[in-house]
Structure 1
């Protein structure tokens, strides 16, 4: 392994330490031609269903490729796993790749889900005095550091004439953030579905704003660079399977929710409401979406949220 690769990995792990807390680090592993290691989050419904039905395993078996799955709590941790060689492929939102690339992660954008802005929002307690985005000034707002909603908050505040420095960010994982909102130790919470749908249904939380007209809320499929270069056939099969799975979810939302309920630990009606906010339609990575990622990266650099300027198109196969 080259010194520069080792150094970039060490820098990456150090930069994410504040985000990941005491999370265990995956062990390093090399590219294996006959394995396809997928990272997923439980909230990533299409991938979760693909895992549950075993379709991909059946399609890759004739190629001699074995599929394995690793669950991660959120996008930043998944990208850590991708960077240190624990997985080959994963699904995250728009902000985690920016943080990871700035910290030296070596991955490539593979595909994206068309915009899903209604799938994230800012919520407050039902009896909160906060009635609008403007009322967030000076308030404690919880969200997962380095995740989709990190960018959403930045963009939302700017749209309403506020700056990121006008709020007090409280970096919490979804479960901890919900608990903090319910005990009123934070004033608001920025979160994505199905957590958003769940807290609105179960705690009667009130939506202040979603990302409509604020952020695209793209979701991305990312690949470890060497795997993407050497196993384009596997990536193509996986994306085809995901596209078909996504189409099935769109046409059978209630049945998809019923299948996901025992996996995600939520009522099927809540999951169905969250699924309706996603498009489940995937496109190959292209220049316009990389330009949108560049705008996010530039904004994060200006706010000193990432340590250096990056060029997002560097994270795409030539």
Structure 2
């Protein structure tokens, strides 16, 4: 049965709003606040993340007020846009998934890894329409797949094809800039599969007529990374430790209370609490230090993209890890 055209309209509105927010945030410098000369820490975030929860809690503002530091929050549609803003000095820190972080390093952007989240393999997936009768990843051979350049879910697509005995050349990628455009392409039938991440993946899974063909289990840890620039981290380590201390508190709460996380974020995201609770239950929000194992995971991802010709040169991921701990 064809999908109703309005089924994903809340997601489309959500991501269009995120794109507009990312453009606006690029105009904001690190400077003295006009009203009272207090410094402002500019944080980039995407929908559905521990930073998003921290924003909703108001805890960071309270913790930094005694230091005379204010906080401004800048929403982005996806990791590539956030990292572009970070590299140009439009924001001071933010988060992005594994693949956008590698692509930023490949592009020579001066971003560094500060910390990582726990694995989140079920938070990415390859979504298809039931009416197209695609039963496995092998059935994607010769099909058009909507994905984004440098998306975490693009990496899932690449390694899932490899596991199925196929290559990236066996599909035709249709590159889009956000999840809304990917879903619209699937609805129209111009592509036969899309790569998505939570909460948009969880929303798709809840829609009649759609199914998750393959998630990241056993293929990708799909970590979120917290990033800044070395120059900012060098000058503001104490500030970053406060940030991660408050982030840790809300992360512990979020891990214990997925239903309350859903209730907090649903009004902000325009997505149902049921969808958000599903996404939150399969996620571990805790931030951890960058370990050699995590570096190895990222190196494998970088090498995979280089092998596909999507990254032009060999990267050394370890070179982009900030050398000092900023975790409390």
What is the TM-score when the length of structure 1 is the normalising length?
0.89
Aligned position for 1:125? 129
- Name 2:115's counterpart in structure 1: 111
Structure-2 residue corresponding to 1:5:
none
Q: Identify the match of residue 316 of structure 2 among 298, 311, 317.
A: 311
Match for residue 286 of structure 1 among 291, 311, 314 = 291
Deviation per CA, 1:44-77: give whole Å up to 9, x if none: 2x21121122110110111122211111110000
Match of 1:78 among 64, 67, 82: 82
> Does the aligned pair in 1 maintain the 2:99–2:151 contact within 8 Å?
yes
Q: Distance in 2 between matches of 1:214 and 1:149?
A: 11
CA–CA separation in structure 1 for the residues paired with 2:147 and 2:309: 18
Q: Name the residue aligned to 1:226.
A: 231
Q: Structure 2 regions of 5+ residues with no counterpart?
A: 1-18, 33-37, 324-328
The aligned residue for residue 68 of structure 1 is 72
**Aligned pairs, how many?**
296
In structure 2, what is the Cα distance between the partners aligned to 1:58 and 1:246? 17
Q: 1:29 to 1:137 in 2, by over 3 A?
A: same
Distance in 2, Cα, partners of 1:218 & 1:27 = 29
Contact 1:31 1:227 in 2 (8 A): no
Contact 1:27 1:84 in 2 (8 A): no
Structure 2 residue 139 is matched with structure 1 residue 135: yes
Question: Which deviations, in whole Å up to 9, do the C-alpha atoms of 1:63-118 show, x marking residues without a partner?
Answer: 12221111111000000000000011111100001111111100110111111101
Matched, 1:300 2:305: yes
Gaps of at least 5 residues in structure 1 are: 1-19
Q: CA deviation at 1:30?
A: 5.8
Per-residue displacement from partner, 1:277-305 (whole Å, max 9, x unpaired)?
A: 21112101122211211111112112110
TM-score (norm 2): 0.86
Partner of 1:17: none
Aligned with residue 261 of structure 1, among 258, 262, 266: 266
- Corresponding residue for residue 202 of structure 1: 207
- The aligned counterpart of 1:53 is 57
- Alpha-carbon RMSD across the aligned residues, in angstroms, is 1.8
1:217 aligns with 2:222: yes
CA shift, 1:250, in A, is 1.4
- Report SS of the residue matched to 1:308: coil
Aligned to 1:178: 183
Query: In the aligned structure 1, how far is the partner of 2:290 from the partner of 2:92?
Result: 17
Measured after TM superposition, the shift of residue 28 of structure 1 is 7.8
The whole-number CA distance in structure 1 between the counterparts of 2:252 and 2:168 is 38
